[in-house]
Amino acid sequence: MFRILVCDGMDKSAMVTLMDAGFEVIDEHYEVEELKVKVKEFDAMIVRSATKVRQPIIDAALETKRLKLIVRAGVGVDNIDVAYAMENGIEVRNTPNASSASVAELAIAHMFAVARHVHSANVTMRNDEWNKKQYKGIELNGKTLGLIGFGRIAREVAKRASALGMKVIYTDYLGEMEGYDDFAFKSFDDLLVEADFISLHIPFNAEKGAVLGKEEFAKMKDGVILINTARGGVVCEKALVEALDSGKVAAAGVDVFEEEPTKNEALYKHPKVSVTPHIGASTKEAQARIGIEIVDTITDFFD
């Protein structure tokens, strides 16, 4: 019987499906040192963002050579040392299709929150403050949204933003995409200059570091609004706080952080920032779809 370790939780019905298919499923989160011991006992492991599968974990698994598959329940795999795992005979898979709509909707939600001061008013009214005159917002309709990266999630954002009356422009390292003529491809620098809202949809690359830093903020429009539901690290948090303080960035919606849970109070307590604790894929629908993708991945792999 193949043993599956579910490190960070998953849809219960998907776990039942795996068990009905003959897999032994253990739903347990282990900290690093204990995981080094436990990982030797499993054929596959399923992780979300909380568990980091770095080289020491992989080395521990290689002692028994039992682990054959790591599945990331989500899109990004930057919490896994993918190349090292693959070099040592451990396959790495993700669930790229399941959470696109959920993350896209959260990005739009942050746009509305900061454009209409919902994030602030929701707090001040609970403190018995009626700050009506302070909360003159802006409409999304007629604004230009710049998407950095144009993969599955960005395309879902583009569709929703277009329906709201936004002009959508995008940049991507692959260049202009066929079949998306309603949205204009721009160079990275041109997008920074033209966009009223900027939303990031790219993975974090440790070698390259932040894509948006002090130099990039300087190129943006005064009063730009920034949304990051992609990955912590793609935006330099120090530079973002400075841009918020100066007014270069009027507001930001942030779901992901350089360190999670974040300790950067200057960012998450900033009055111009709408914050959520990395919940882009945290909807019932997305988790159910992720569960289905995981079941298909595991059953196909071990068939």
Catalytic site includes residue 63: no
- Give the integer Cα–Cα distance in Å for 223 and 8: 38
Structure tokens at 166: 């936004």
Which of 201, 278, 289, 293 is an active site residue?
278
- Give the integer Cα–Cα distance in Å for 275 and 281: 15
Give the contacts of 118 (CB within 8 A, at least 6 positions apart): 112, 274
Closest alpha carbon to 54 in 32, 71, 76, 38: 32
Asked whether the beta carbons of 172 and 149 are under 8 A apart, the reply is yes
Give, for 199, the enclosing helix (H) or strand (E).
strand 197-200
- Give the integer Cα–Cα distance in Å for 93 and 74: 10
Catalytic site includes residue 260: yes
Which of 231, 270, 289, 293 is an active site residue?
231
**Which residues are catalytic, by number?**
231, 260, 278
